[in-house]
Amino acid sequence: MTLNLTVNGVEVSASVDPERSLLDFLREDLGLTGTKKGCDHGQCGACTIHLDGERRLSCLQFAVQVKGRTVTTIEGVAAADETLHPLQEAFIRHDAMQCGYCTPGQIMSALALIDSGCPTDPADIKEAMSGNICRCGAYAGIIAAIQEVAHGKS
């Protein structure tokens, strides 16, 4: 099938197998390897992207299902001049990553949370981010980074 969509602001047209996941399409066909393959079952959040501005697990989405839609991956978060997004900078400041494998998915989920009106209570942020697993346990830094950007806390 021919797939036409917008990825990180760029119009893309490609031939794709109807059974190919959006995750595999992004990583293998487009070379956007920032989106990670963790569990491949929608349980870890490493593959989180934005689809038309809403967070989605790309491993659970067939590529053909996003025909004509807009996808944003972690590669599309920084500014065109490669200046990091404030949330990316906050993750660095708060040591919100250790191995870094989950970081792209954490950032994509956090951006969606912030855009939808982030809660102020750390327990509520933790609940809202519960679909994203960090095996290294950097949760305190992740929550602090989200709070800083969402609520102007430093």
Give burial (CB, 10 Å; 0-12/13-18/19+) of 42. Answer: middle
Question: What is the residue-averaged pLDDT of the chain?
Answer: 96
- pLDDT for position 152: 80
26: pLDDT strictly greater than 70:
yes
Fold agreement between 2-76 and 86-151: no
- pLDDT for position 153: 58
List, for residues 70-98, the tens digit of each pLDDT value: 999 999 999 999 999 999 999 999 999 99
CB 6, CB 51: distance < 8 Å: no
Domain regions of the chain by residue span: 2-76, 86-151
CATH class of domain segment(s) 86-151: mainly alpha
What architecture does CATH give domain 2-76?
Roll (3.10)
- Other Cβ atoms less than 10 A from the Cβ of 128: the count is 17
Q: What's the rounded mean pLDDT across residues 105-117?
A: 97
Which residues, 6 or more positions from 130, have their beta carbon under 8 angstroms from its beta carbon?
none
35: pLDDT strictly greater than 60:
yes
Q: What's the rounded mean pLDDT across residues 33-43?
A: 96
154: pLDDT strictly greater than 80:
no
Q: Which of 90-94, 97-101, 149-153 has the lowest mean pLDDT?
A: 149-153
